[in-house]
Chains A and B, each alone.
Chain A
């Protein structure tokens, strides 16, 4: 099947698949940022058990393969009395994995600020909250733009995991399967999906670079 024929037959489906991938990416990434923020607060708090809990979360979820987590959430949790919708389950999987990497990015952002700055801020009498608000957070956020851009692209690619569950409508990777099970999609079916991903990554990367250039702190 040529690309043109594919478009006329499955154009609508591909569009839905693209929207599905985009929506999963956007929702998972936003939720992951919120969770990562909470975990990072845990990890820098003076409360020992919370620190350990935060570190533990990050080590578990940055090292677990996505599929391994997905099958637990989709197929094992129902046995434990928690059944999630396929799409929700896939998004929870992506969110939990991405949150661990996002927290690592935030920690790196915090670490780029020298200890001396904190000491200086304290010596001029800033309170803890003010040190965070005026010294730590602005710098950490700025230096985290580029890693977070990459992580957003990573999130986009991780949503391909959802092709392992029967999703309706399928997302971009599942589409290759969908087309090939109905007709001979051939290389075209693969390329349309690939361009959907690569094109989206390109745009995200471009915008991320622009923002980074605007806010980057030159050291």
Chain B
């Protein structure tokens, strides 16, 4: 959250007088009490259903548990970064096609981008998992999860790149054109380097989407964090604790990526372009 958010939040209210301050204090205490009661109720529910029993939690004191989870995390990491790298290249190619002067190329690229943006990644995963093998193509489980995740991300990245290219002032390419530079030279020497700088924070924040998409790797039985957690669950019979711990790991990882992208955006003075800010399909 940038400093701007806080200032707008605070600007909504006048500086409170003594009466208002008292009221705020009362409501604050009331809210605190309600939150405390809520937390207590959740803990109580864990307790009366026996989920706080040490046998569900002692597995987290063993190094083997964490080693196995770390192994799974490495799998998640591998899929996410490979998919991210592929999506980066593919997204760039699709964007170049989309803004090309050739009408047919632009139309085809647009269709491909819209298709990948308009279809859930899970459907693409089922395509690679259920449909492709029917045509006699054998693929390791790593690619059955990585390729669909990459394809889904490439559509979004293409639009992020395009937003970046559009953000470079038009006068620059006009100036380059008047110097006699060719279209491709203008793109790669003038526009794209600047566009890339603008979109780097957005690219980082898209990594969160990729990491989230990898969590269904168990569909193709690739050993990622979630899949390894499921193995541990069947070994230790500790479903509730394990699913909660894994969820917290994912939240922390994604939170860190998000914060990093916000930091980058802040340092470069650019905005993060997310799927929500793009033009809808």
Contact = CB atoms under 8 A, between A and B. Distances in A.
Contacts of A190: 123, 126-127, 130-131
A81 B28 contact: no
A66 B216 CA distance: 9
B11 A118 contact: yes
Contacts of A104: 276
Contact of B9 (A44, A164, A180, A194): A44
B255 A63 contact: yes
A154 B239 CA distance: 29
A13 interface: no
Contacts of A197: 118-120, 123
B135 to A, nearest CB: 8
A68 interface: yes
Size class of the contact patch on chain B: 35 or more
B5 A111 contact: yes
Nearest to A42: B31
Nearest to A58: B1
Interface in B21-65: 24, 27-28, 31-32, 35, 45-46, 48-49, 51
A113 interface: yes
A173 B280 contact: no
A65 B211 contact: yes
Given A146-B280, A184-B134, A189-B131, A198 B243 contact: no
B122 interface: yes
B122 A160 contact: yes
Contact of B13 (A46, A67, A185): A46
A101 B276 contact: yes
A115 B11 contact: yes
Most buried by B among A79, A154, A177: A79
B188 interface: no
A69 B120 contact: no
| Consensus secondary structure, chain A interface | helix
B8 A111 contact: yes
A108 B129 CA distance: 39
Contacts of A201: 114, 117-118, 280-281
Contact of B16 (A46, A80, A110, A198): A46
B155 to A, nearest CB: 11
B267 interface: no
Interface string B96-126: 0000000000000000001101111111001
Interface in B235-281: 239-240, 243-244, 246-247, 250-251, 254-255, 258, 275-281
A71 B229 CA distance: 12
B153 interface: no
Interface in A142-188: 146-147, 149-151, 153-154, 157-161, 163-164, 172-173, 176-177, 180, 184-187
A5 interface: no
Interface string A5-28: 000000000000000000000000
B7 interface: yes
Given A49-B31, A79-B49, A198-B114, A110 B127 contact: no
Given A80-B45, A80-B51, A193 B27 contact: no
B240 A173 contact: no
Nearest to A172: B123
Given A76-B244, A107-B5, A131-B12, A163 B280 contact: no
11 contacts: A50-B31, A80-B51, A118-B11, A128-B12, A153-B280, A157-B118, A160-B123, A180-B131, A187-B131, A197-B118, A201-B114
- 3 nearest CB pairs, A to B: A205-B280, A160-B120, A63-B254
Interface of B: 1, 4-5, 7-9, 11-14, 16, 24, 27-28, 31-32, 35, 45-46, 48-49, 51, 114-115, 117-123, 126-127, 130-131, 134-135, 208, 211-213, 215-216, 219, 226, 239-240, 243-244, 246-247, 250-251, 254-255, 258, 275-281
